[in-house]
């Protein structure tokens, strides 16, 4: 948090700026309807985090402006603006001050509409920037609560890379599954030509007894996969979840994608349940992994699903291949991750 004198609108002597960042994800490993601690049906998901692009926010807090005087650049980021208004009120109350206005500036390189959590990343970065302008660090649970209020549902990006079964419409964790997903190398691609998906138009899952039983079984399988660090079981869970998601998403490439996975020895596929991003999961210990990934890339390309990025489920790799198909991603190093971790831009399609 620093006092600033921006090149734009003149800043007063009390104007201060805070900054915040947030990561993205690569869709979901599992998403559906599950039972919460009271045995009630609850929509929830397990995201596939990635060390990829991110959202950045700077909030110029202006104590002399009214609480509704918040502008956003670029325009049209209504969810981020709502998050800024909520965060100002939250932080002002903690500081026992009157809420005020300000100017929010967003930047980043997360493609919109692919199911990579772009709106949640904007919202989390915004809340962190507002809190930073108040010299506060809000708890992840508080950020989740504000994010749900701002956008109706959110991904658990504020809670770190560990696998969580997260109720996205309530902003709460149903189950912490472990410290990390099983080891896997993910070869990403975009379905539907990379066209954005209107997530609000998708029909909601019913949550009947039969559907609940299916998703609870996948929940148990994923719990075992995490406990045993089993990439094969992880692939089975993600493929089954993606297949169930086909009832609402109807990706025409789905059967082709699973056929490529079978031919190249992938453990399974994963597809964003609210977008077009997809991936093939490989066990990093598989013999001839580099060769299999090159075959996978060629097959995806020939079938119109251009490969975009490769990464690992390791929550803190030292590096990953910038061109994913000319060498195996590094899996052994450790690098701390968090909202301020430098990130390299992945090779995503021009949208």
Report the C-alpha gap between 262 and 268 in whole angstroms. 8
**pTM, 2 dp:** 0.82
Look at residue 198 and tell me whether its pLDDT is greater than 90. no
Residues 32 and 99 in one domain: yes
- Planar angle of CA 206, 199, 71, nearest 5 degrees: 135
The model's confidence at residue 13, banded by pLDDT at 50, 70 and 90, is low
Supply the pLDDT for residue 164: 97
Residues 192 and 138 in one domain: no
pLDDT tens track for 133-154 = 999 999 999 999 999 999 999 9
Of 236 and 13, the one with more pLDDT: 236
**What's the total number of domains in the chain?**
2
Q: Are strands 41-62 and 2-3 parallel, antiparallel or unpaired?
A: unpaired
Look at residue 327 and tell me whether its pLDDT is greater than 50. no
The model's confidence at residue 109, banded by pLDDT at 50, 70 and 90, is confident
Q: Are strands 101-108 and 70-73 parallel, antiparallel or unpaired?
A: parallel
In a domain, 199, yes or no: yes
Supply the pLDDT for residue 276: 87
Q: Is 36 exposed, middle or buried (0-12, 13-18, 19+ CB in 10 A)?
A: middle
Supply the pLDDT for residue 332: 32
Look at residue 349 and tell me whether its pLDDT is greater than 80. no
In a domain, 332, yes or no: no
The model's confidence at residue 167, banded by pLDDT at 50, 70 and 90, is very high
Residues 158 and 193 in one domain: no
Residues 80 and 120 in one domain: yes
The model's confidence at residue 205, banded by pLDDT at 50, 70 and 90, is low
The model's confidence at residue 204, banded by pLDDT at 50, 70 and 90, is low
315, 328, 241: which is closest to 278 by C-alpha?
241
pLDDT tens track for 14-56 = 778 999 999 999 999 999 999 999 999 999 999 998 876 789 9
Q: Helix or strand or coil: residue 155?
A: coil
Supply the pLDDT for residue 202: 63
CATH of the domain at 32: 3.30.230.10
CATH of the domain at 223: 3.30.70.890
Residues 287 and 165 in one domain: no
Q: Helix or strand or coil: residue 166?
A: strand
Of 9 and 157, the one with more pLDDT: 157
Report the C-alpha gap between 66 and 48 in whole angstroms. 40
Look at residue 105 and tell me whether its pLDDT is greater than 70. yes
Neighbours of 4 (CB within 10 A): 13
In a domain, 244, yes or no: yes
Residues 157 and 194 in one domain: no
- The stretch 325-342 carries a mean pLDDT of 33
Q: Are strands 70-73 and 41-62 parallel, antiparallel or unpaired?
A: unpaired
Report the C-alpha gap between 235 and 140 in whole angstroms. 29
The model's confidence at residue 2, banded by pLDDT at 50, 70 and 90, is very low
Supply the pLDDT for residue 117: 84
Cβ(191)–Cβ(271) below 8 Å: yes
In a domain, 292, yes or no: yes
Residues 21 and 158 in one domain: yes
Supply the pLDDT for residue 325: 30
Choosing from 174, 205, 226, the residue where a domain stops is 174
In a domain, 91, yes or no: yes
Residues 278 and 299 in one domain: yes
Residues 31 and 151 in one domain: yes
| pLDDT averaged over every residue in the chain | 85
Residues 70 and 186 in one domain: no
Residues 170 and 211 in one domain: no
Give me the domain span that covers residue 184. Answer: 180-312
- The stretch 311-325 carries a mean pLDDT of 54
Of 201 and 270, the one with more pLDDT: 270
In a domain, 338, yes or no: no
């Amino acid at each position: 948090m620093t006092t600033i004198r921006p090149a734009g609108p003149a800043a007063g002597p009390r104007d201060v700026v805070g900054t915040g960042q947030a990561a993205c994800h690569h869709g979901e490993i599992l998403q559906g309807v599950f039972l919460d601690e009271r045995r009630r049906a609850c929509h929830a998901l397990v995201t596939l985090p990635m060390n990829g692009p991110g959202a950045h926010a700077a909030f110029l807090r202006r104590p002399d402006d009214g609480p509704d005087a918040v502008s956003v650049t670029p325009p049209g980021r209504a969810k981020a603006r709502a998050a800024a208004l909520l965060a100002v009120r939250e932080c002002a109350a903690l500081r026992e001050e009157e809420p005020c206005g300000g100017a929010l500036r967003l930047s980043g390189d997360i493609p919109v509409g692919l199911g990579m959590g772009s709106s949640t990343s904007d919202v989390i970065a915004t809340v962190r920037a507002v809190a930073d302008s108040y010299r506060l660090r809000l708890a992840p649970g508080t950020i989740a609560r504000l994010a749900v209020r701002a956008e109706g549902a959110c991904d658990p990006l504020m809670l770190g890379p560990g696998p969580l079964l997260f109720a996205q419409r309530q902003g709460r964790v149903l189950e912490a599954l472990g410290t990390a997903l099983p080891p896997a190398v993910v070869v990403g691609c975009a379905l539907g030509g990379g066209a954005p998906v209107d997530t609000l138009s998708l029909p909601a899952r019913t949550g009947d007894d039969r559907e609940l039983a299916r998703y609870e079984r996948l929940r148990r399988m994923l719990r075992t996969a995490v406990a045993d660090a089993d990439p094969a079981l992880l692939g089975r869970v993600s493929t089954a979840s993606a297949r169930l998601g086909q009832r609402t998403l109807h990706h025409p490439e789905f059967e082709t994608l699973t056929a490529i996975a079978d031919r190249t020895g992938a453990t399974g596929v994963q597809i964003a349940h609210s977008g077009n991003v997809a991936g093939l999961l490989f066990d990093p210990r598989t013999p001839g992994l580099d060769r299999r990934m090159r075959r996978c890339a060629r097959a995806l390309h020939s079938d119109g699903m251009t490969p975009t990025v490769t990464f690992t489920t390791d929550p803190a790799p030292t590096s990953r291949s910038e061109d994913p198909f000319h060498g195996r991603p590094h899996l052994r190093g450790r690098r701390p991750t968090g909202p301020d971790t430098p990130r390299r831009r992945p090779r995503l399609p021009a949208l």
